[in-house]
Amino acid sequence: MNEQPHPVAGLDRSPQGMKRIPAGQFRMGSDSHYPEESPSHLVQVDSFHIDVTPVTNRQFRDFVRATGHVTLAEQVPDQKDYPDALPHMLYAGSLVFQKQPGPVDLNNPLRWWSFVKGADWRHPQGPGSGISNRDNHPVVHVAYQDALAYARWAGKDLPTEAEWEFAARGGLADAEFAWGDEFNPRGRQMANTWQGEFPYRNLLTDGHERTSPVRSFPPNGFGLYDMIGNVWEWTSDFWSDRHAADGSCCTPHNPRGGAEAESYDPRQPALNIPRRVLKGGSYLCAPNYCRRYRPAARHAEPVDTSTNHVGFRCIRRETGET
């Protein structure tokens, strides 16, 4: 059985709020779960520093105050980007999860997602909600461009999928989860996920119905919190339906994902909106739906989309590349 390793001892020279991840080689992806995670393949990544936690409401507020940044959720969409939308359907807002009163068709996410006018990072459930007592919760309702803008302001970048997954594994090889092979070792809840039947019955075993304060659960072997559960996290890679297989001659070094043109959703041919890879799962991942609370798991997200279960964290590469 894989066991949680202890963080490497010694003097930590990482920037404040970050941990250094040493260069290494690992098998990315999985052949045992969802098809988009396969094939498992060997990759090499250089060393980098990564945020210990997802970016919080407090940190994002500092960024907004310093720059005047207006998130995509706070802007009225441009008609030319959504040619099939009626003018009265274009307003500032974001996607908000709506808990259901009973079982629903799990093949229809529109049963539990609603585009709520006025929902944004300050109002995660829509008008009337707020974050006054949630400074240490991860910021949500951030689209890709918002996450990247914050990273650039902070002198950082967004991780690639390979960098993120390597960090999430915490030094464990081939473990199912970021902490080992058991989801609840000795009955302990290790991440903020959904317990019960999604999307209508949450047993709240972990004590949280939505996001939880960062550091509420144990860190992984690299000393990183919330790599699994709580909120999905943006990476810089464009989406591809499958990983590339192992090469015959060499191991990919710092892979950067697929091509933008291949990331478009074939189910929506009228919308040329690229998709990026999300990692880590969220508080909505449940045993009966979206078992993506694992380092290898991945999800496609259009870059113009924000929700109340997606956030991000940043990295700083030691090589200086961006």
Q: Which domains, ranges and CATH numbers included, belong to the chain? A: 18-317 (3.90.1580.10)
Q: Residue 250, Cβ neighbours under 10 Å: how many?
A: 9
pLDDT in tens, 117-129: 999 999 999 999 9
For the stretch 246-252, contacts whose Cβ atoms lie closer than 8 Å and that sit 24 or more positions apart, written own/partner, are 246/39, 246/41, 246/42, 251/25, 251/42, 251/43, 251/44, 252/41, 252/42, 252/43, 252/44, 252/162
* pLDDT on residue 86: 64
Per-residue pLDDT, averaged over 66-83, amounts to 89
* pLDDT on residue 248: 67
Band the pLDDT of 268: cuts 50, 70, 90.
confident
pTM, two decimals, is 0.93
pLDDT in tens, 97-108: 999 999 999 999
pLDDT in tens, 60-74: 999 999 999 999 999
CA 83 to chain centre: 29
Q: Does 322 have pLDDT greater than 60?
A: no
Give percent of the chain above pLDDT 90.
84
Q: Are 44 and 253 in contact (CB under 8 A)?
A: yes
- With vertex at residue 252, the alpha carbon angle to CA 247 and CA 256, rounded to the nearest 5 degrees, is 125
Among candidates 293, 310, 288, 292, which has minimal Cα distance to 301? 310
